[in-house]
Structure 1
Amino acid sequence: MPRRTRGKSLKRLRSCENGADQSESTTPARKYAAVNDERTKICSGASTRKTIPAISVTPLIGNNSHNLVHHIYNTSFGRMSQHTMRKSFCQPFVHILSNAKVYRTASPFDRRVTALEWHPTHPTVLAAASKCGDMILWDYERTDKQEFISGTGKGDAITGLKFNVDDPNTVYTSSVFGKISLQDFTGRQSKILLESDDWSNWYCALDVSFTTGLVTVGDSVGNALLLSREGKVLWNHKLHKQKITHCEFNPQCDWLLVTSSVDKTVKLWDVRMIKGKDSVVHVLNHEKPVNSAYFSPDNNRLLTTDQYSEIRVYHSPDWSRVMKTILHPHRFFQHITAFKATWHPMCDLIVVGRYPDEKFPGYIPNETRSIDVIDVNTGDIVCQIKDSKAPGLISLNKFSHGGDVLASSMGVNILIWHKNVDIERKQQAMMEEMRLSGVKPNEVTESQNRRRPQQRSTRIDAAMKSKIAAKLRKQ
């Protein structure tokens, strides 16, 4: 062996003899063994060093509970899925709705209710419109607080209603008489933004984007218009083959517009790039004519209702992906009224009126009419809202901004649904207030219904004369 190699081998041998423990203790296996030995000494009390506290396992609280606090606690430790937490968030609202009964009713119109809209700042104030063009601003907690705007009578109908957030005493409306108006509940003169000169064409849907200052309307032949809030028409294109039943801006993406139509389609548009029907961003085809298409409160989903039994929920960013299809056990006949499923403002629930149809599979004889509350994630009916005081068809439903009160239309009646435990106390207080003020129940409504027919005939004659005169001038 060469001298240099033999010297290196002797050095390694001496190193192993003198410090084998030190060199070997630096390996990962020896380090792990040393740590375990130290922990064993500590746990057995052999060491005088400070004892390391044992790691406790946090118990699972309320495993079968629907309490939101329990689910938030368990989710924070990764023991519950987000889906389960969302479901528990709906439980308080499901409990409120399952105990809801009719609290107040109003019958200010002599034709059916066609539109409902909650006031943007007053939680107990509701605007409603009718098939004869009448509108009411109603505070259901007061007996002396309601404003009334008379319509033009038979043949007219308010098809769209939207509060003006800059002046909540005014509302934007679209009507069968072919007018887009800004109407005022304080008695000031209404402003007509747009008027159609074609008797065979009327406006069927309306929405307003207050961030962009734009108004969109859809008409009975498939045209969609975009105009400023002052009434200047920015574009007018035929986007559907038949009547547009609903149009709505996405609040989060104010350039995104959705329209639904009797031509069995729902279409998504970029209002900045519309040059015609070929400018469509996406088309959602349906088997039947579509009544409505509502964006969800989180603006990431789209709820559509067709005229028979199908409710669909689409998910963004790929709007073509159907998140859930719900076959509701009734049919939404257009000639009866336009049933529409609408969102709860706080959680993944939707509501829709039930119209039992004996031709539908699974029909139960003598099935009661109700409002069904549906979980959109599962498609299950989680509760039904019904009251013997409300036996009719309930076509429109709109939650208050807090989600604890529901407004519905049943023919000519407006219904307010409230949690049952509060109803008796509230009704007694209201009856006492009416007694002290000398107002009889439904006194105002009856007086309005008595005076309306004469005024309407005069208004209709005047409207007809002005229309005929305008057409003669054009000829």
Structure 2
Amino acid sequence: MSSRLAGLEADNETLQRKLAADIERDVAESKPKRLRVSEDLRLGDIGVDGKKFKNGADTLKGIIRGAEPGVRTFTEADLKETDDKDLKELRLRMSSLELYKHWYPNDIKICPQRVYALGFHPTPEKPIVFAGDKEGAMGVFDGSQTAPEVDDDDTDHPAPVISAFKTHARTITSFVFSPVDANAVYTSSYDSSIRKMDLDKGVSVQVWAPADDSDELPLSAMDMAQTDPNVLYFSTLDGGLGRCDVRAPGSEEVWALSEQKIGGFCLHPLHPHLVATASLDRTIKIWDLRKIEGKGDMRHPALLGEHESRLSVSHASWSPGGHVATSSYDDTVKIYDFSDAGSWKPGQDISPQAMEPANIIRHNNQTGRWVTILKPQWQRQPKDGIQKFTIANMNRFVDVFASDGSQLAQLDGDGITAVPAVAHFHPSMDWVAGGNGSGKLCLWI
């Protein structure tokens, strides 16, 4: 209604504003009221119709696989229902591993910060665990030590003896132990360097870094062929794979294998000319170092085959028997069977069919911001000859699997208050270690 029809003078601004406000109120009251709903709603009853929408509540089931601390995904019922005699015996043996009893995990603070890398010294005499954290500190724990006896009334319990050293400026990403020198421990880091610690001399020396101190080449992983302990291989966050001879400074070569991060890689333990890489580009790729192709910056080992997952692949670990285990953000652990790798000729293509995983295990790999990425790690020299690997479980366990995908154990114990995300087998003994986001250590022996 206009001000003229309402009997108002055009210059009466106060009345004009009042009329406009009344009109807006009338329009608002004529519209259907939109009120928040306070009662519970069933998603099946409030679906939005339309061609682009699924309005069934079932479509949301399983969309998020949240961690359920303490909820087992492998139980005693799985052990009892095992028909295979050998498998049952193996499951019983692996499930009998017990958490180190002299101190609770919360008392074994092996690193100041979150554990990013872990390694067992290969000696079979006693469990010696090395751990590296996000700030470049290294901790060493001797699992043969025992807690001294104290009176029941004594509230001051002695802490375990742990050696800790600030060896790198940034995150430590890998430990490698020399097969010929029991005192040599190599570490790689996001600070772009590889260092060697001499346990006997108590000295840590840099054995490789970019020639220019201003260059940054963060290293995501490292490995060594047992037959050639002087040559180290490393992967980089910008998609490179490199090797260097510690006896010959300046001898390194870095190949650009991916446009995205290589999160982990592994040499075949028995045929170290074969390399498996895992990348943010969602692939696992197999390379042959016996055949280097291309020229200049385009040089690289021959690509034998690749397999693509739905989401990024975090790590690839190769067993002595020829199986590669990967972890991926598509919530799977995939096992590839390359047991015939010893017969491959240099540069031989692997067929797409042969690159398909032999077994796929559903596994929650959604670590989030505060938990280190879950990575499978094989036992390198199992005394029983059975190929098996560990990977942490987001429900605060460590899972043990065989090469055929059979679960062998789910390790737990009192006092585990966080995910032991970085899990490793001892190379030959049935000892398992796991490090968590608070720098604490779990040890099963």
Provide, for residues 348-406 of structure 1, a one-character-per-residue CA deviation record: whole Å limited to 9, x for no partner: 54332222xxxxxxxxxxxx5322334542x4545422224002122111122344321
Query: Alignment partner for residue 306 of structure 1, among 302, 318, 328?
Result: 328
Query: Does residue 110 in structure 1 map to residue 108 in structure 2?
Result: no
Equivalent in the alignment of 1:206: 222
Instruction: From the superposition, tell whether residues 190 and 113 of structure 1 become closer, same or farther in structure 2 (CA, over 3 Å).
Output: same
Kindly provide the CA deviation profile for residues 294-324 of structure 1, in whole angstroms up to 9, marking residues without a partner as x. Answer: 11242x2110111341100000136514210
Q: Which residue of 2 aligns with 1:94?
A: 94
- For 2:245, the equivalent position in structure 1 comes to 228
Is the alpha carbon distance of 1:400 and 1:387 closer, same or farther for their aligned partners in structure 2, counting shifts above 3 Å? Answer: same
In the aligned structure 1, how far is the partner of 2:224 from the partner of 2:280?
22
Matched length: 320
Query: Would the alpha carbon gap of residues 253 and 238 (structure 1) be closer, same or farther in structure 2, given more than 3 Å must change?
Result: same
The residue type paired with residue 249 of structure 1 is L
Q: Specify the alignment match of 1:373 in structure 2.
A: 400
Q: Residues 125-184 of structure 1: CA distance to partner in whole angstroms, max 9, x if unpaired?
A: 22222212121332111268654322355xx11111111222222211111111112122
Structure with bigger helix share is 1
Does the CA contact (< 8 Å) of 1:244 and 1:259 recur in 2? yes
Q: Which residue pairs with 1:123 in the alignment?
A: 126
Q: Pick one of 165, 186, 190 that aligns with 1:149.
A: 165
Deviations 1:254-295 (CA, angstroms, capped at 9, x unpaired)? 211222111211111111212335721121222211111111
1:184 counterpart = 2:198: yes
Per the alignment, residue 137 of structure 2 pairs with 134
**Amino acid across the alignment from 2:240:** N
Go from structure 1 to structure 2 and tell me whether the alpha carbon gap of 1:297 and 1:123 turns closer, same or farther (over 3 Å shift): farther
Give the match for residue 342 of structure 1. Answer: 377
Q: Would the alpha carbon gap of residues 124 and 313 (structure 1) be closer, same or farther in structure 2, given more than 3 Å must change?
A: same
Report what 1:268 is aligned to.
286
Pick closer, same or farther for the CA change 1:334–1:130 going to 2, 3 Å.
same
2:177 aligned with 1:173: no
The 1-side partners of 2:253 and 2:370 are apart by 31
Alignment-mate amino acid for residue 197 of structure 2: Q
**Segment drifting more, 135-144 vs 178-187:** 135-144
**Deviation of residue 93 (structure 1)?**
2.5
Structure possessing the higher relative contact order (Cα contacts under 8 Å, 6 or more residues apart):
2
Of 391, 394, 401, 1:352 maps to: 391
Work out which of the residue numbers 315, 320, 337 in structure 1 matches 2:337: 315
Q: Over residues 438-474 of structure 1, what are the superposed CA-to-partner deviations in whole Å (9 max), with x where a residue is unaligned?
A: xxxxxxxxxxxxxxxxxxxxxxxxxxxxxxxxxxxxx
Q: 1:286 corresponds to which residue?
A: 309
Specify every segment of 5 or more residues in structure 2 that has no aligned partner in the other structure, as ranges.
1-78, 147-159, 294-298, 341-349
Q: 1:127 is aligned with what amino acid? A: F
| Comparing 203-212 and 323-332, the one that deviates more | 323-332
Secondary structure of the residue aligned to 2:232 is strand
Distance 2:226 2:420 in 1: 30
**Pair 1:328–1:349, CA change in 2 (3 A):** same
Paired residue type of 2:254: N
Q: Distance in 2 between matches of 1:225 and 1:372?
A: 31
Tell whether the 8 Å contact from 2:286 to 2:306 is kept in structure 1 after alignment: yes
Contact persistence 2:137–2:165 (CA under 8 A): yes
Which range moved further: 104-113 or 343-352? 343-352
In structure 1, what residue type is equivalent to 2:208? L
Which one has a bigger Cα radius of gyration? 1
Matches of 1:173 and 1:352 in 2, distance apart?
21
1:215 aligns with 2:238: no
Distance 2:86 2:318 in 1: 19
CA distance change for structure 1 residues 128 and 369 in 2, over 3 Å: closer, same or farther?
A: closer
| SS of corresponding position for 1:390 | coil
Which residue does the alignment assign to 1:326?
361
The aligned amino acid for 1:246 is G
Q: Tell me which amino acid in the other structure corresponds to 1:219.
A: T
The equivalent of 2:19 in structure 1 is: none
- Per-residue deviation, 1:410: 1.6
Map of 1:317-466 to 2, 5 A cutoff? Answer: 317=340, 319-333=354-368, 336-344=371-379, 345=382, 346=384, 347-355=386-394, 368-377=395-404, 379=405, 381-411=407-437, 412-418=439-445
| Structure 1: gaps spanning 5 or more residues | 1-65, 68-82, 356-367, 419-475
SS at the partner of 2:94? helix
Greater Cα shift, 368-377 or 120-129: 368-377
Deviation at residue 335 of structure 1 after TM alignment:
6.4
Alpha-carbon distance in structure 2 between the residues aligned to 1:330 and 1:350: 16
Q: Provide the rounded CA distance (Å) in 2 between the counterparts of 1:272 and 1:88.
A: 41
Q: Is the 8 A contact 2:110 2:131 kept in 1?
A: no
